[in-house]
Amino acid sequence: MSRTVTKFASLLLASLLFAAGCSSSNDSPDESTTGGKVELTFWDWDPNMDKIVAIWNDAHPDIHVTLSNPAGGDQLVSKMITAHQAKNGPDIAKVEYQSLPALVSNGVVRDITEYTKTAVQNFDAATLSATKFEGKVYGLPQDVAPLMLFYRTDIFQQYGLSVPTTWEQYAQEAASLRQKAPNVAMTNFDAADPGWFAGLVQQAGADWWTTSGTTWKVNINGAETKKVADYWEGLVKKGDILKNPSFSPQWNKQMNDGSIATWISGAWAPAQLGGIAPSTKGKWAVAPLPAWTAGNKTTGIWGGSATTVTADSKHPAQAAQFVSWLNSDDVAVAAQVQHINIYPASTSGRSLPILQQPPAFVPNQPDFYSIVKSVAPSARSFSIWGPNVTVTFRGYTDAFGQALQNGSSFSAALDSMQDNTTADMKKLGFTLG
């Protein structure tokens, strides 16, 4: 991934977007020399992050971090851009990898290379490449999130289901479950969150954006993606899976009462299950994502984030100190594994003793992290994330939401995403081939 991310950075940072924001990335003064206690603000949506921040605050009385959760994912990115325009952004912010290039190009996050020369040694080149642009570090990786299959062991046992290893088998088990238990669905198709779908098409080999020189090619409706869309459309139209959005009150209830048997999610899922389905503790297990071809270990990625220092911070050195501690200190990383269930991005973090124990919500699977560790090296993202991911993701929710409502084809939804993305890129001044 290192080569392609660097290539993407060069293209993006040379674009018109970067011209508008580059100059502000390092022009905020560091007021640390004034002495006294430094106050930092941190935007993050992780459940239980307050416990990790408390460890920092107890050990660093001169640098106090105040945690806030204004939004998550794309919503947080929008809030960061708005706050930067008003010059009142936080000091530190969690950012998903696919959103970082746009924040760099708009001057929202700053270059912290000079403050992280020691910390970066805790990451391998492939992991760190997601946060480096033209050789400069704009954040430190927090976690990696390979897409996995989470399944209800009790439901599988009750209805005699086998844990599927291929997507063909997954469809067969879904049909079998519906026949045996009409009120229990294998899973749901989520038109509200494009992250999981992007991970599924990554597994199938899709690349939604590619480049040649300074020319971009958009291939959202390509053969690999349409194969995935057609597969899930078939399950929806057969009635073998549900079609309501994840993370909704209805879905939470279904997850909690046993109406849903599997959840295709990132390795971070156990951290969320306690809030989604509290009655199901000890009833879930993890397995590798079913493969398109038997024996293929490739999976996609859903999520994974970096911690950044914003251009608005008046204390970048201290903010970067916290960022370095959070993502490379063994105590901090172990606390995140314990309370947030991350799979660490840091190399040393992946060998911490705490990973010998399963997440608290999955006490029945001692080898949980061993399975994740075996899958992680085969996880692939897009070789390049496009410069307008927010537009693409919004196009997903609009087009697939309509397809679920009116029964139109998922293939047509992809065509709509393609058209919206390319039109926006042309408007921004990118050259398309």
pLDDT at 124: 87
The parts of the chain modelled with pLDDT lower than 70 are 1-35
Burial 243-262 (b: 16+ CB within 10 A, else e): bbbbeeeebeebbeebbbbb
User: What is d(CA 397, CA 196) in angstroms, rounded to the nearest whole number?
Assistant: 12
- Answer yes or no: is 196 within a domain: yes
Supply the range of the domain harboring residue 6: 2-144+303-356
Same domain, 257 and 311: no
Please check whether residues 91 and 235 belong to one and the same domain: no
Q: What is the pLDDT of residue 35?
A: 62
Instruction: Give the separation between CA 268 and CA 340, rounded to whole angstroms.
Output: 7
**Does 20 fall in a domain?**
yes
Catalogue the E-assigned strands of 302-404: 305-309
Q: How far apart are CA 186 and CA 262, in angstroms?
A: 6
pLDDT in tens, 20-79: 333 333 333 444 445 689 999 999 999 899 999 999 999 999 999 999 999 887 788 889
Residue 266: inside a domain: yes
In the numeric block, which tokens belong to residue 101?
């290039």
* pLDDT attached to residue 143: 94
Whether 198 and 342 share a structural domain: no
Cα angle for residues 164, 175, 293 (degrees, 5° grid): 35
Q: Are residues 351 and 262 in the same domain?
A: no
User: In this structure, are 324 and 349 located in the same domain?
Assistant: yes
| Shared-domain flag, residues 190 and 209 | yes
What are the angstrom distances between the C-alpha of 207 and each of 65, 194, 201, 301, 380?
39, 15, 8, 13, 10
* Number of domains composing the chain: 2
Say yes or no: 71 and 214 in one domain.
no
Question: In the 8-state DSSP scheme, what is residue 109?
Answer: B
Domain membership of residue 366 (yes or no) is no
342 and 423 part of one domain: no
Type of residue at 148: M
CB atoms within 10 A of CB 103: 23
Report residue 37 as tokens.
Answer: 């206690």
**Is 372 part of a structural domain of the chain?**
no
- For residues 262 and 187, the answer to whether their CB atoms sit within 8 Å is yes
Residue 362 lies in a domain: no
Q: Are residues 224 and 344 in the same domain?
A: no
Q: Quick check: is 43 in a domain? A: yes
Q: Is 63 helix (H, G, I), strand (E, B) or coil?
A: strand
Q: 165 and 310, same structural domain?
A: no
- Whether 314 and 244 map to the same domain: the answer is no
Together in a domain, 402 and 414: yes
Quick one: which H or E segment has residue 428?
helix 410-428
- Strands ordered across the beta sheet of 284-288: 262-266, 147-152, 284-288
Question: What is the CATH classification number for the domain harbouring 93?
Answer: 3.40.190.10
Q: What is the pLDDT of residue 19?
A: 35
Phi then psi dihedrals of residue 312, to 5 deg = -85, -10
DSSP 120-144: GGGS-HHHHGGGEETTEE--EE-B-
Look at residues 356, 372, 398 and tell me which one is the last residue of a structural domain. Answer: 356
**320 inside domain:** yes
